[in-house]
Structure 1
C-alpha cells in the first residue's frame, strides 16, 4: 500500500506579490525550493494563515535570493501581499519507506530568506 506524507514544507513565508493576470501557479524563490526539494511544476498546497484560505497549485521558480512568493492567476484572489502562508508538497511511499523518511522543512526569516 502507498501512503501520502508531507515531503517538503516552507513554513510561514510572506506573500510578496499577487498577479491576477497570469496563467496560474505560485512563484517561489528558487533558494527556498531547493532547500526543501520542491521542483518546478510540482503540485503544492498553500495555506494562508491570515484568512484560512487553502489552495492547490504548482510551483514555478522565482529569482534566487529575492524572497519572492507570488500567487498567480486565480490564486491571487486567495491572498494579499503581506499575508503569511505555508507551502507544502506531499509524496507517496510505502509504509515501510515512511518509517525512515524525514521531510525537508525550512523556517524562513521575515524577508523570506533561509535562516541557517
Structure 2
C-alpha cells in the first residue's frame, strides 16, 4: 500500500505490541458505492477473525452512509473469497485485468 492510501477513506487495524496484525479500509467511491479495500492479515495472525471483524466495521460505516459496499478479489484467492461470501458478498461479474508498466509503454510492447 502506498504512503497516502489511508487518505482515501477510513481504515481500521489491529495492533499488538506496536505491530500491525490486520487491517481493512475504503478506497474507490463512485456515487452511491464504496470499495472495501486493503483487507489483509499478517500470516502470523490469520485464523483469528481479525479480517472479518475489521471488514464488518468498514461495511457498517458504508451502509450507515446509505451506500453499497463492494470489493474485488483475484479468482485464485480462495481464502479471501470464502471470507467475503461469509459476509454476504456474491460474485457479480468476473473481470480481466491487464497491468502495464512504464517499460512496456516505452518499448511499444503490449502489457503482460
**TM-score band (shorter)?**
under 0.3
Query: What's the TM-score, normalizing by structure 2?
Result: 0.26
Q: Name the structure where helix makes up a greater proportion of residues.
A: 2
Could you say which structure has the larger radius of gyration?
A: 2
Q: Name the structure where strand makes up a greater proportion of residues.
A: 1
Query: What's the TM-score, normalizing by structure 1?
Result: 0.26
